[in-house]
Structure formats: structure tokens, C-alpha cells
Structure 1
């Protein structure tokens, strides 16, 4: 079922991190603001995230990472999307992200980074801008 915006977003928890509260809060905020959200659940492999993103025809993959492996997981996700010929899918990252790692995440291919405490309305507005041309 298409939503008012028509934009689809995948929220994923890569790696071994088992905490999903923040991811679910962001997913709900996006859904409540007209996005169609696919949530993969916890402990997802990067290759599975990329395959789901392609299969679900999403505009954005949002990675929620609290484990400290955010740079490696982001780079691997971007690489997996590229290998699937889906480099047009934006990758955003949220979670326990030290300010000093934001530049490294963007260099690894993240379009945007949302450290813990980023206001939900800011995330929603950013995702709306990223998906404006795909809706």
C-alpha cells in the first residue's frame, strides 16, 4: 500500500547489536510522517540488507548502529548496494556515533549521520529531502 509521500525507507540493524528501540522510534516517526517503512529487525547481514533494499525498491537505507562498528558496517553496506547496482539508494546512519567519526562515515558513503539525540523532526525533514525526487 503506497503512502501519501510514496517514499520507501528501509531501517536496518546490521551486525551483532541487539538493541532496536531507537531504530523502532525512528521507523515510527517516519511512518507517522507519511513514509512507507520496512524494518528488517536486529542482527542483519549487510548482504541481506542490500538485497532487501533492492527487493523493496527503497530510496533510503537507514542503518541503526550502537555496536561501535559503524564505519566498517556503513562502508560494507554501501559496497553491497554498489555490487547490487543500487548505488542510487542513499545510506544514512544513526546511533552511538562520536562526532569525530561523522566525516569518516560520509567518506565511507553515508549521505547523512544522526548521532544519538538528533531530534526526530530533523531526521524526518532530512529523509523527506533525500526522497523528494523519488516520490
Structure 2
């Protein structure tokens, strides 16, 4: 079994083609992927992440609310004593917001146009066990 990751669509954004492509790409790269579907509440994303014992939560956000939603997910994971779960963000993210997302706790940011090879490489690096070294 591969490393478990969660791909989530927080908030009201109803477009999930990109999230499904990311989920499939990660699965094909050997990850065990849990996909939440669209319009998920922060509390539900965190609950699923804990129940499924994931190493990484990938947020797919196209709505423009990426900084607020990412902050809320990172804070909720920390509040649940799960701050070690990496949070990455992808979607329609202006370059000017990449550092803001990193500052609020995102481990990586994947704006529109990021190659799938880069995504897989970075997710592998973020989820690598010390035992794997």
C-alpha cells in the first residue's frame, strides 16, 4: 500500500476536474488517495484526514478563498494535534499569494500550470518517511 493522502475541495467551489486529475495522477504514482468530493466543510476535511491516517492533505481551490481556507485547515489540524500532516494547495492561485499561503502553514503551493511531474515529486518529498531514507 502506498502513502495515504487526502485530496479535498473546501468551500463552495463546485469545479473538481483538476482535483480528480490530481487524485488520479497521485494514485497512478503509487499513493493511496482519498478524495472528498466537492463543497467540503473544514471540520469534515480534518475529520477524514484523521480517520484515514493520511500524511498529506491536498486542497484544490479555484474560488479565490485559498488563503482563508488554507489557514482554517492548517489551524484545525493543529488544534486536533495533527499539525504534522502536511497541507498543500493547488488551483487558481496568483503568484502574489504563494508566499502568503506558505506563511499560513502550507507546505507547498501548486498554482494552475504546475506540471503533474512536479506535483508528484513534491508530494513524494513531503510524505517521505525517515525509514525510507
Q: Determine if the TM-score, normalized by the shorter chain, exceeds 0.5.
A: yes
Q: Shorter-normalised TM-score: what interval?
A: over 0.9
Which structure 2 segments of 5+ residues have no match?
Answer: none
Please report the TM-score for the alignment, with normalisation by the length of structure 1.
0.95
Aligned to 1:94: 90
Which structure 1 segments of 5+ residues have no match?
Answer: none
Kindly indicate whether residue 125 of structure 2 is the aligned counterpart of residue 123 of structure 1.
no
- Give the number of aligned pairs: 131
8 Å contact from structure 1 (residues 30, 124) kept in 2: yes
Please report the TM-score for the alignment, with normalisation by the length of structure 2.
0.96
Once residues 74 and 93 of structure 1 are traced to their aligned partners in structure 2, the CA distance between those partners, rounded to angstroms, is 7
Q: CA deviation at 1:83?
A: 1.1
Aligned to 1:43: 39
Q: Where does structure 1 differ by over 6 angstroms across 4 or more consecutive aligned residues?
A: none
Match of 1:54 among 26, 36, 50: 50
Aligned to 2:105: 109
2:26 alignment partner, SS class? helix
Once residues 59 and 89 of structure 1 are traced to their aligned partners in structure 2, the CA distance between those partners, rounded to angstroms, is 5
Aligned to 1:75: 71
Q: CA deviation at 1:124?
A: 0.2
Per-residue Cα deviation, 1:78-131 (whole angstroms, up to 9, x for no partner): 011011110000000000000000000001110000000100000000011111
Match of 1:21 among 17, 20, 25: 17
Once residues 60 and 33 of structure 2 are traced to their aligned partners in structure 1, the CA distance between those partners, rounded to angstroms, is 14
